[in-house]
Structure 1
Amino acid sequence: MSSNNLDQLYRQVIMDHYKNPRNKGVLEDDSLTINMNNPTCGDRIQLTLKVNDGKVTDAKFEGEGCSISMSSASMMTQAIKGKDIKEALKLSTIFSDMMQGKDYDDGIDLGDIEALSGVSKFPARIKCATLAWKAMEKGLKEDEQ
């Protein structure tokens, strides 16, 4: 597939997650709630996670921001559901490496998340893409303590 076609496909995946977000909403009861924002551009997210026996059993988000931040949150919640904490944090490390243009473990199927790989070419947008991931890391690390 040509680079142009791949870029177009990635844009379509990002816009699909933005217009039809997965896991939008708030979890109640025993959920972790993490609020984060990116003051440089105004993106904000409230991430709620349900963790049972060291596993992320559910994840939802609310927020407002650009298509990159909101689609990344949608993709992230899909990716971590059903994963144990260690796996979810490893995915976050892989995502962070991808955003920084570093080599990353490409033996793991990132699914839709790979559509965000082009963001690494736009340093100002990296914070948008990583906002939800940073919220997830913060919540899971605080929950472990």
Structure 2
Amino acid sequence: MWKVRPRSRHRSSDRVVRAFADLVRSQPAWPADLEAALVTAAGQASGRAVTLVEDDLPSRAHACLVESARGFEIVLNRSAPASRRLVGVAHEVGHLVLDAGTVETSVAPSDLVELMLDTRATGGRDAEVLVELFADGVLAELRR
């Protein structure tokens, strides 16, 4: 099972989390393939094409979001354990659903992730915290 933090104390964020979790539960892949259900629901919620792709990412990265000509790709680290992959997918879905930020680039996903990990301390913390709260809340809600 995956680890999640306690739910938010803010009712509005809880409503957003519950609404998205309900959308995930309505997907044909639910509950057999949670990653696929999350991605399909994110596409519906954001109005964007979203696909899952596996690639070799730095060991400390589990997933990243990349804008492509076809929409968005959630790139998963193929060597990450299943539980970390799921948390990574939920996190990247949070970026799409909350519109907290995306990256448009032609840089290789592994280079992009290294750049984000190395520069995270310089800014963007608020968006990352919001996305983490969303991802943790959705995963907790789906466990209920």
Same fold (TM over 0.5): no
Return the TM-score normalized by structure 2: 0.33
Larger strand percent: 1
